[in-house]
Amino acid sequence: MLRSARRTITILRTRKDLDGWRAQQSEVGLVPTMGALHAGHADLMRRAAAENDIAIASIFVNPTQFAPGEDLEKYPRTFERDVEVLRDAGVAACFAPTVEDMYGDGDGVAVLPPPRFDALSEGAARPGHFSGVCTVVAKLWNAVRPKRSYFGQKDAMQCAVLRSLRRDLAFDLEVVVCDTARADDGLALSSRNAYLDADERAAAPVVFRALGAARDAWRAQAGPGPAAALRSAAEATLAAEPLVRRVEYVSVADYDTMAELDVVPPPDGGAEPRAILSVAVRLGNVRLIDNLPLRGN
């Protein structure tokens, strides 16, 4: 177990280290991450530190949520810089285990998401991904035993899957979903934005503009309207950007279940989401995802 200088942050490398640390704490807030931290992660951590007696973050590039041919090997690994982000955000401890410590010989139990997610938007686009997410998050929740666990809205289906995991396996914790952090031009913050070259980065806000076009179409509805009109508005915006190489999906779905909608309920002025728009595109060689809950007017 190592302690960094200046503001104290405890680095926990093994489950044994974590168990010893956890035995000394009461109410804990957990922010699971894969590292390569950005301002959106820092927002989650500050909220965890404010709402709990103490906050812990995990940094673990989880191999089981990467499909063959995805970016496991080149995923950014910036641990020393990440520790500074944790320190500045008020996090007290960082759990940074090895693959062996998390998975042993690799022949262990996997946690599967509800099968319905496999056929929906992000689940269909990344087969096996959410099994890896559920497995690692279940391990982290069991090990840390947090009162609250914090996630960003940008990964909309992940949030829905994890709400289901918490409910179905009776984890005694709250899943806290925080608003997507964005750059000034609307691009959702993501560790994978580091893959964008200058031209791609300049074009990337088209994803948020596409969501905005779909939201504008929804706001123009006088009553329940066809989801196809919202999809068409987003697709037209994406089609106008030459660097968008492929649109993987444009989803208009129920906010809680992520099931695709044929008819979208109209704006009601309320704070609760009526539906959620989600998009995944290939911009050059970089995969970008984003979403926008439909709420208010």
Listing DSSP states for 13-53 in one string gives -SHHHHHHHHTT-SSEEEEEE-S---HHHHHHHHHHHHHSS
DSSP 3: E
Short-list 89, 1, 5, CA closest to 40: 89
DSSP classification of residue 183: -
Which residue carries 């496999």 as its tokens? 118
Residue 101 backbone zone (phi > 0: left; psi -120 to 50: alpha; other: beta): alpha
With CA atoms as reference, report the closest residue to 261 among 221, 209, 204.
Answer: 221
Q: How many CB atoms lie within 10 A of CB 297?
A: 8
Q: How far is CA 92 from CA 31, 77, 101, in A?
A: 12, 21, 21
Dist CA 248 CA 226 (whole Å): 21
Active site (annotated) includes residue 41? yes
Whether the CA torsion 18, 167, 128, 158 is positive or negative: it is negative
Question: 58 φ, ψ to 5°?
Answer: -105, 145
Please give the Cα distance from 166 to 141 (Å, whole number): 9
| Three-class DSSP category at 12 | strand
Question: Which residue of the set 29, 30, 35, 41 is catalytic?
Answer: 41
User: Using DSSP, how many helices (H) and how many strands (E) does the chain show?
Assistant: 10, 12
Cβ-count burial 156-179 (b if 16+ within 10 Å, e if not)? bbbbbbbebbbeeeebebebbbbe
Catalogue the active-site residues. 41
